[in-house]
Amino acid sequence: MAPASSAWPAPIEGSEILTKTKVAVIGCGFFASNHLNAWNELPGADLVAVCDLDESKAADAAEQFSVPAMFTDAAQMIAQVKPDLVDIVTTMVSHRKLVELCAASKIPVIVQKPFGPTLEDCTAMVEVCRGAGTMLMVHENFRFQNPMRRIRAVLDAGTIGDPVWGRISFRTGYDVKAGQPYLFDEERLIVLDLGIHLLDLARFFFGEVETLYSRHARIDQRVSGEDMATIMLGHGSGATSVVDCTYESRQRPDLFPQTSVTIEGTKGALDLKSDFRLSISAGAEHRVEDVSTPLRAWTSQPWHIAQDSVYDTQAHALSALAGGFAPETSGADNLKTYALVEGAYQSAKSGECVRF
């Protein structure tokens, strides 16, 4: 029986309209449609404006997602619309200026990964939002994927004991550059673009990192940066994990965009298999759970795993804002993931282990 004091007041008719968070989105490119679809579906959000330097992209987004206002200048949008939350879906070079703009008006902000081009930029964004007393969240969505939440719950339940070893892997030959041609010119490619998600998962499952060793390679000679990386992490808990990723795998079937996870613990082990079957063994017990993600009206196979996590990431942002707590992937938290990215490049260049 619920305690009497926990009874929620009955909602007043129409009150949900008053409590909706007014959201404005900056950047209407390749990935933004997922954010816009999710904002439109989230009951706590009211998508009030979109902005893109490219007027046709802003106009298309406004029309497609029934957004009442569109802008080509973020400062103008913020001044006129006064949103409760700004969602930045531009590439990293523009993040710092846009975050500073939001902080100047004390507007909470979510910013896509990678957080920024350098650790200095990322730290500056954390500081400016701290100074303004406003929320800064990084849209780090992999840990919000259904299977990853389930794995975290299995670890929390102690089913496999203390994690001692793990592998987090994303190997594909899917042509990611077709949708994101800017990736051709990135001097720091797969670790900053994709490995960053996997390094965040490593922290999510095994805790903070003490040592890192990384080896990189460039397989597709048309790209400027590395497109294969293998990173070995030593965690403060004593666990060891391996994070590996490539955009140039020839494996069949190609698992894109699925991340594979294996974790061995003191009492058992788990393995996220290719068709979203989570195998869990502990002692003599063995079970396989279906951790696939149901489709939403706007999601489609095989991208739905990523698309759905966008919804959950944004839902988490709204909860954090309403509850006044720091989001899991706050700017301050993401500095620790970003430091691992920097460490990977440092280690790959020097051939030495990096200590944190």
Ligand X SMILES: NC(=O)c1ccc[n+]([C@@H]2O[C@H](COP(=O)([O-])OP(=O)(O)OC[C@H]3O[C@@H](n4cnc5c(N)ncnc54)[C@H](O)[C@@H]3O)[C@@H](O)[C@H]2O)c1
Q: Which of residues 76-105 bind ligand X (CB under 6 A)?
A: 89-92, 94, 98
Q: Which of 224, 168, 234 is nearest to 201 (CA)?
A: 168
First-last CA distance in the chain: 48
Considering only residues 28, 110, 155, 340, which one is a binding residue for ligand X as defined by CB under 6 A? 28
| Phi and psi based region of residue 283 (left: phi greater than 0; alpha: psi -120 to 50; beta: remaining) | left
The yes or no reply on residue 262 touching ligand X (CB under 6 A) is: no
Shortest approach of ligand X to residue 94 CB, angstroms?
Answer: 4
Decide whether 164 or 317 has the Cβ nearer to ligand X: 317
Shortest approach of ligand X to residue 54 CB, angstroms?
Answer: 4
The yes or no reply on residue 113 touching ligand X (CB under 6 A) is: yes
Q: Which of 136, 139, 146, 158 is nearest to 200 (CA)?
A: 139
Q: Which of residues 137-156 bind ligand X (CB under 6 A)?
A: 139, 141
The yes or no reply on residue 31 touching ligand X (CB under 6 A) is: yes
The strand pairing partners of 23, in sequence order, are: 47, 85
* Total residues interacting with ligand X, rule: CB under 6 A: 27
Decide whether 141 or 241 has the Cβ nearer to ligand X: 141
The yes or no reply on residue 32 touching ligand X (CB under 6 A) is: yes
Decide whether 53 or 119 has the Cβ nearer to ligand X: 53
Decide: 205 and 197 in contact? Cβ < 8 Å.
no
The yes or no reply on residue 69 touching ligand X (CB under 6 A) is: no
Peptide bond between residue 253 and the one before it cis (omega within 30 degrees of 0): yes
Quote the DSSP letter at residue 191: I
Cα 36 from Cα 50, distance rounded (Å)? 9
Starting at the edge strand found earlier in the chain, the sheet holding 163-171 runs 285-290, 277-282, 268-272, 260-265, 163-171, 240-246, 228-235, 209-217, 354-355
Decide whether 29 or 161 has the Cβ nearer to ligand X: 29
Shortest approach of ligand X to residue 287 CB, angstroms?
Answer: 30
The strand pairing partners of 50, in sequence order, are: 25, 70
Considering only residues 85, 155, 306, 354, which one is a binding residue for ligand X as defined by CB under 6 A? 306
Residues that bind ligand X in the complex, under the rule CB under 6 A: 26-32, 51-54, 57, 74, 89-92, 94, 98, 112-113, 139, 141, 180, 182, 193, 306
